[in-house]
Amino acid sequence: MRRIIPIALVPLLLAGAAACSSGPSDSGRTITVAYQKFGNFTQMDDHMKKVKSAYESAHQGYTVKLVPIEASENDYYTKLSLMNRSPSTAPDVMYEDTFLVNTDIAAGFLAPIDDYLAKWADWGQFTEASKSAAKALDGKTYGVPMGTDTRALWYNQDLFRQAGLSVPWEPKSWDDILAAARAVKAGLPGVTPLNVYSGKAAGEGATMQGLEMLLYGTKDTLYDDGAKKWVGSSTGLLDSLTFLKTIFGDKLAPDPQDALDPNFGTRVGTELLPGGKLAIDLDGSWLSGTWLSTGTKPWPQWSTVLGQAPMPTQHGDAPGKTSMSGGWVLSVGTHAKDKQAAFDFVSLALNKENSQAYDISASQIAERADVAADPAYVAANPTLKFFTDLVQVTHFRPAYADYPHVSDAIQVAMESVMTGQQQPQQAVSAYVDQLKSAVGPDKVK
């Protein structure tokens, strides 16, 4: 989610981005690669270093300049956007969240890569669903998928037993989640019962892991495809915000001061879950990558301590469970002087060997058929089948150019409720007003 940057600060920030990246060389033989490196998720940095070495060995005379952007999700989007505003700082290859593809195309940041894909035999290994992840409204493709994900409830089986709860846990409704959280609160002082990401500090994580995991378990959505309009006020949105009011108001969730720390997601993976301080976490399939032997916080017991349960629909209505899927792609920048060389880096980074290594280390659901079928990949993580099966009930964000504005409005509404500044109905009304202002009243129903 991009933040609005005061105009007066833009030159200074651009100067900082330039100092950080130095931009591509005049000869075009330096390939600049920008990506996020933040908190306990260092797999991308390790992956890029490996590909850089292999690329430079295979392409004599070329240099790969890595630009790891050490920033939280919101700040990463902002810094990448600032870099792209000038050809002198724009990266040749960039790590791109799929929900921003259409926005960044409209901004002129990304180059279509269909001509290169047509000559790349490996493209046939990618699933049709994954190919659509970086296909824009103009029908062209602007990136190669690195992997996808799903979301569910992680829970500490030891804490559940101590609180008198049955294991395995199979919640059938939101009420079942609240009942378990209340049992933890009553029986285990000092343990946070339930984490649902919320507020602007969590960025898109709040929108997707939080609000949308609730909303898409109701009968409502964010966007009406038939009417081609964004949904403003809805019962599902009100109920989702009311759920947040309940967990924060009844102190079943983290203290808002902690939850609004941009580093809170890192703490969940490195401190709270491994330390037995959090009972239930609504989070992503990638989380276990932190605890593998190759992760930043190895935790050999994680697969026996933690259980996983699908997020139930609000009242248990069919199909009974829900999830959200996203993913990231590697894209070629519009200002890349040598787009073929930039694409060659992308294709090397996401060939079978490198895709598989990354998907295993980052606990990603494979986008390549040959990786998904490889016994080494299948055996690499005991939660792989569980999270892959959730693809059957998953939902995707409406990745239109206006979505970042919608996501920002959602985060504002969530934060106002979690901090007690507004009641859910007030937050819905404010959301509708902000939505109409951001996308235009004619685009809201």
At residue 410's C-alpha, the angle toward residues 407 and 411, to 5°, is 90
What DSSP string describes 169-215? Answer: ----SHHHHHHHHHHHHHH-TTSEEEE---SGGGTHHIIIIIIIHHH
Domains in the chain: ranges and CATH: 12-148+326-389 (3.40.190.10), 151-325+402-443 (3.40.190.10)
Is residue 144 within a helix (H) or strand (E), and if so which, with residue range? strand 144-147
Tens of pLDDT, residues 59-96:
999 999 999 999 888 889 999 999 999 999 999 999 99
Residue 28 has what pLDDT?
Answer: 63
* Tokens 């200002």, located at residue: 335
The whole-angstrom separation of Cα 321 and Cα 213 is 10
Residue 432 has what pLDDT?
Answer: 98
Q: Under 8 Å CB-to-CB from 346, ≥6 apart: which residues?
A: 93, 113, 144, 330, 331, 332
Tens of pLDDT, residues 144-159:
999 999 999 999 999 9
- Using DSSP's 3-state secondary structure scheme, residue 81 falls into helix
At residue 104's C-alpha, the angle toward residues 101 and 107, to 5°, is 155
Residue 4 has what pLDDT?
Answer: 34
Tens of pLDDT, residues 175-197:
999 999 999 999 999 999 999 99
Sign of CA dihedral 266, 267, 270, 276: negative
Tens of pLDDT, residues 415-429:
999 999 999 999 999
pTM > 0.95: no
